[in-house]
Every structure is written in structure tokens, then in C-alpha cells.
Amino acid sequence: MNTQNSAQEIVKQRSIWNLRAWQLLREQRTSRYAVRKMPQMIRNVHIRIPRSKISVGLRVTSRSEFIAGENMLPLLYDSRTRGEALSMALITLDAFEGASIGENDFAWFSKLFRLRRSWKMRAIKHSHQLLLSTKEKRALADLHSAVALVESPSLVHGDLHAGNLIVDFQNRSLGILDLELLHIGHPAINFAQLWIAFFFADPRLGGQLYHAYAQSHPWIAKPPSERVIKAEIVLRCYSMIETGNQKPTKSIMKDKSLQLLKAILSVDSFQQLWSGGNPNDVA
């Protein structure tokens, strides 16, 4: 994919033969949907969704509105900005849960997304590179059914990592990027995807995000939601391990992801990850 930044737009391109080109084809529709359905402001913060235009030839080209601000990911590693980043993360999660979704919105894609996650869980179970113990395989099997769980359906980003959030503190705005995988699913998926970056920055920061979110969303501590969170973290970590295998420059992220994946499969409660469990050395 070629990405070009300018003061007006971000351009993304993929060959029409690339499977990921089909994701770009969705971006125009999903961005318009998000603009209509998601709240425009939460706690005096403007929610900004970049509008996109798609053109198709030998390459699929997506031209999206450029949103000024700071990428959230580096903010997590600076003690001066962590608090604001945490607040913006909570606003992000509330923006998706506050969307006025319809019962049949993105029905086929939502089913496809869950089916893909199920396939991937099977691949993890049979992966030789992870060297999973018998106990870890049992834990993985227990999480498999959680990938299809849809409880209190919500709008789900599909790739809600910190790098897809743009924060403008001065103008009190939050930009949400890359909506190609937008669908309807369990709200815990959004939380799990965003939580990983906070935990990698500092396990205690991951704990802070969890507890701050749980204050207004107590359902997150219930066993079904915990299983969805753990399943999603396992899936995301496995993807990062695969990326690390293909790109040596990502080896540090691969190591972190492998530690977290195994940690998730070894703890009984999600909260053990930052409150005294063995995985506290993941940082």
C-alpha cells in the first residue's frame, strides 16, 4: 500500500488483485456510515471521521480527509501525556458504543469477520511456532467459542489500535482512522484491541484503562465479556507474531506479543495481568 500525506488528504492504494483491496472498497461506505451514526461530540471532544472517496482501476485508490493532530501511540510512552491519552481512549470506546446502529447493518460482513476469527483461532491451536503447553491449548480451546459471541451488539472498528487515533488537544478533537473493517459485534472487541497498546506501554497503564472503563461499563468484568477480551488479545498477538516473523524490524513487538499471548492463556482472571500475576514483566 502506498500512503501519501498532504494538507488535504491521505491516499492509500492497493492492486486490484490484492485481497486487501477489498477492504479499501468498503472505506467510502463505512466512513459515511460512521459520520451518520456515531456521536459528533462526547464530553466536549469533537469526534472526527475522515470522509473517503474510492476510485477503481488496476489499483483501488482511497482518498481520505487529512485530520491534523498527534498519533495516540507515542503519547502512551510519555508520562506527561498519558492521562490525556487515557481520557481520549475512553471517549473513543464510548463513541463506538454510542452509535445508533440498525439491527441488520453490515450483517454479512459481521458474520464474515466472526468466521475469520474462528478460522484464525484454529490456526493458533495448530501452530508449531508457539510451542503451547497442554494447559495453554485447553485455555485456547475454551476461548474459541467466545469469538462468535455477540452480546449487546455495538459498532466495532475492527482494527482499533492506538495508531489509528489522532488526538488534537488544542482543538479538543479525536480523529478515528481506517474504518475498512467496521462491523457490528461485541463491544469488548474494541476495548481489547485498544487495551493492548496501553499494556505494552506499561502494564499499570493497561490496568488503569480497564478500571476507568469498568466504572461506567461494569459488564466488562463479567465472564462472557472477559472471554471475548482474552480471545481478541490472543488473536491480535498472533497476528503481530506473524508480522514479526516476516519483518525482522518487528522482532521486539513479536517477543512482547508472544509473552502476552501465553500470559493470557495462563491467567484465570484478566485482571491478574497487572495486579500481581506473572505477566507483570511484560512491558
pLDDT digits (tens, 9 = 90+) for 85-99: 999 999 999 999 999
pTM of the model as a whole: 0.91
Provide the domain count of the chain. 1
The answer as to whether 35 is a domain residue is no
The string of DSSP codes covering 90-157 is HHHHHHHHT----TTTTHHHHHHHHHHHHHHHHHHHT-SSS---HHHHHHHHHHHGGGG--SS-EEE-
Q: What is the mean pLDDT of residues 202-215?
A: 95
Q: What is the pLDDT of residues 9-51, one digit of tens each?
A: 888 888 888 877 888 888 889 999 999 999 999 999 999 999 8
**In the predicted model, what is the mean pLDDT of the chain?**
90
* pLDDT of the residue at 7: 52
Task: Judge whether 51 and 199 are in contact, CB under 8 Å.
Answer: no
Comparing 75 with 279, the larger pLDDT belongs to 75
The answer as to whether 30 is a domain residue is no
Q: What is the mean pLDDT of residues 99-120?
A: 94
The answer as to whether 259 is a domain residue is yes
Residue 187 is placed in which grid cell?
Answer: 463491544
Q: Which residues of 80-94 are buried (b: 16+ CB within 10 A; e: fewer)?
A: ebbeebbebbbbbbb
Task: Give the whole-angstrom CA distance, residue 162 versus residue 176.
Answer: 10
- The CATH code of the domain that includes 135 is 3.90.1200.10
The answer as to whether 9 is a domain residue is no
* pLDDT of the residue at 1: 44
The answer as to whether 7 is a domain residue is no
Can you tell me which residue has the cell 495448530? 126
The answer as to whether 17 is a domain residue is no
* pLDDT of the residue at 10: 85
* pLDDT of the residue at 260: 96
Domain with 176 in it: 68-281
Secondary-structure percent of the chain, ordered helix, strand, coil, rounded to 5 = 55, 15, 30
Q: Is 55 helix (H, G, I), strand (E, B) or coil?
A: strand
The answer as to whether 164 is a domain residue is yes
Task: Give the whole-angstrom CA distance, residue 218 versus residue 233.
Answer: 20
Contacts of 83 (CB under 8 A, 6+ apart): none
CA distances for 235 relative to 122, 151, 238, angstroms: 10, 19, 5
* pLDDT of the residue at 54: 86
The answer as to whether 141 is a domain residue is yes
| Amino acid (one-letter) located at 264 | I
| Amino acid (one-letter) located at 20 | R
277 pLDDT higher than 60: no
